[in-house]
Structure 1
Amino acid sequence: MKGKTISINNYSIFYREAGNPENETILLLHGFPSSSHMYREIINELSDKYHLVAPDYIGFGLSDMPLVSEFEYTFENIAKSVSDFIETLGLKSFYLLMHDYGGPIGFRIATTYPSYIKGLIIQNANAYMEGIGEWGMKIGTFKKNNDIEGLLKFKDYLISLEGLKDQYLNEASNPDKVDPISYLTDKAFLNRTNANEVQTALFSDYGSNFPKYTEWQEYFKNHQPKTLVLWGKNDRYFNQNGAKEYSKDLQNIEMHFFEGGHFMLEEYAKEATELITNFIN
């Protein structure tokens, strides 16, 4: 696995790449509050069979983090930068693996480039209102009540070391399997100058995804991409109903639930890679 950088619209984007480009490609889109680092085990396990590409979004990980006054941090703009990344690398056919924030980013890409998509691999990423979990509802209540102070306080907790450990460890079935390097790496990236402002902007913009759900569901119905759903049952952002809703619109779908949470790959990377291999084959 190699760490690389590429210039996209004059910003440096970091990405991890492994495997032979002649093989099937998997584009891995990370979630909140992480980076492509979350896929390290998946990439290592699958690199002998597939070509894997995992970018850090602008404002995340090792990619550039311009000021919020210089770059408008919306899901629409980040999806556009990932689309430009795809075009610059010349990726024309790939499986799309999406986690959390990777969902609204990836579904925008899939609806824009449906012919590029060989299949979807969805890990705790929502496209239905029925799947909003305990923490998702809490965030929604803050916004509904215009409680900006409460929303920002909760966001600050989620990106604190205490909050990160809560997400990684308290939703896990076996916390001993979670490598501390995961939440410590996330915290190091979130300590970067401007990171708090970036996360605040995206928290504020998350509601822009909900009106897109109908469009994404129409994409599922009309294009019927084959789909693999991998879901940590203890996720407080997105509950199991979010996973089950995909079967309403997708006919060629395979679904697996795990006794883990938002970051279930920390515990089940081996099981996930076996399922991904069988799915693609």
Structure 2
Amino acid sequence: MTFPALARTVHRHLDVDGVRVFYRESLPERADAPVLLLLHGFPSASHQFRRLIDVLGARYRLIAPDYPGFGHTEAPAGFTYSFDRLADITEGFVRKLGLTRFVMYVFDFGAPVGFRLAERHPEWIAGLVVQNGNLYEEGLSAGARDFIALRPDRSGAEDTVRDLLTLPGTRGQYETGVADPELVAPDGWTLDQHFLDLPGRKEAQVALAFDYHTNVERYPAWQEWLRTHTPPTLIAWGANDPFFPEPGARAYLRDLPGAELHVLDTGHFALEDRLPEIAPLVAGFLERVWDRGPR
């Protein structure tokens, strides 16, 4: 009996401007394997990609860092938590690894982090995999709009954010909109909550929540970036996402009419129950786009 090859994955740290960045990296069989940079979402970390790395990492080089304020990454006291700073650290991480070209997988917070990188270094981007990573006004639910409108000087705003950082709030992000919740392992939200409960982590998330409006303000610039650079793009979207509903996926086609779109009957964390559908899509996409253009 022949079994499919599973990834060998290393777990390392890199120092980037005083931040001890934790990351997972698969060790593919080929030295020249296509590279996929995996940018995680809220309130998770690189562990959300563990199964995808297991399935694809023997054939492709998959790299997944934890941002400051997330997972195993350690940021110094006084670190400023903003999306610009998350992008700064991610940019420094990419440079330290010596990456010069990769396909970028953006999910949730990974979209505003990743598109800041894309603006700064369009030459790095060989293609995009977009999974519930929103760049459009119509991709914001009413609840998401209310959340983004929160400001620190508004009465009760911080309490509203902190309510989302509880175990019921974290678990709800995994299970809402999922057709069969039994397919979603509890490990993800349990580990997320462990990290959220570490000293200083909730304060970091509150700061990022109040900074989220800066991402919406940059949507027009990022849409223009898509029209200008027209990267090959695969979109795999959980249609029942309570934050970023299906119109956000379809909106990409205005700027990237050649994008490949797959809408799935699931929620925000689509990889949790739809890995069997998404992994082959990602593998096929990497095979098609990697040899386009100079490396």
TM-score normalised by structure 1 residue count = 0.95
The whole-number CA distance in structure 2 between the counterparts of 1:148 and 1:56 is 32
- Which SS does the other structure have where 1:172 is aligned? coil
Q: Does 1:195 align with 2:201?
A: yes
Residue aligning to 1:30: 40
Q: Does 1:227 align with 2:233?
A: yes
Does the 8 A contact of 1:224 with 1:251 survive in 2? Answer: no
Q: Aligned-pair RMSD on alpha carbons?
A: 1.4
Q: 2:258 aligns with which of 252, 260, 265?
A: 252
Q: 1:208 aligns with which of 207, 210, 214?
A: 214
Return 5+ residue gaps in structure 2 as ranges. Answer: 1-8, 288-295
| 1:42-191 equivalence runs, <5 A | 42-67=52-77, 70-143=78-151, 147-149=154-156, 151-191=157-197
Q: For each residue in 1:42-85, what CA deviation from the matched residue of structure 2 results, as whole angstroms up to 9, or x when unmatched? A: 11110121000000001110001333xx1111101110110000
What amino acid is the match of 2:270?
A: M
Q: 2:271 aligns with which of 244, 249, 265?
A: 265
Residue aligning to 1:41: 51
Post-superposition offset of 1:264: 1.1
What amino acid is the match of 1:25?
A: V
Post-superposition offset of 1:154: 2.6
Post-superposition offset of 1:134: 3.3
What amino acid is the match of 2:230?
A: Q
Residue aligning to 2:4: none
The whole-number CA distance in structure 2 between the counterparts of 1:139 and 1:147 is 12
Q: 2:25 aligns with which of 17, 37, 47?
A: 17
The whole-number CA distance in structure 2 between the counterparts of 1:47 and 1:56 is 18
Aligned residues: 277
What amino acid is the match of 2:219?
A: Y
| CA 220–173 in structure 1, closer or farther in 2 if over 3 Å, else same | same
Does the 8 A contact of 1:173 with 1:259 survive in 2? Answer: yes
| CA 14–111 in structure 1, closer or farther in 2 if over 3 Å, else same | same
What amino acid is the match of 2:228?
A: N
Post-superposition offset of 1:34: 0.5
The whole-number CA distance in structure 2 between the counterparts of 1:123 and 1:52 is 16
Does the 8 A contact of 1:65 with 1:195 survive in 2? Answer: no
The whole-number CA distance in structure 1 between the counterparts of 2:240 and 2:126 is 29
Q: Which runs of 4+ in 1 moved over 4 A?
A: none
Q: What's the % identity of the aligned pairs?
A: 36
Residue aligning to 1:6: 14
Does the 8 A contact of 1:8 with 1:85 survive in 2? Answer: yes
Q: For each residue in 1:124-181, what CA deviation from the matched residue of structure 2 results, as whole angstroms up to 9, or x when unmatched? A: 11111111013202214544x96341x3223222211111111112321111011111
TM-score normalised by structure 2 residue count = 0.91
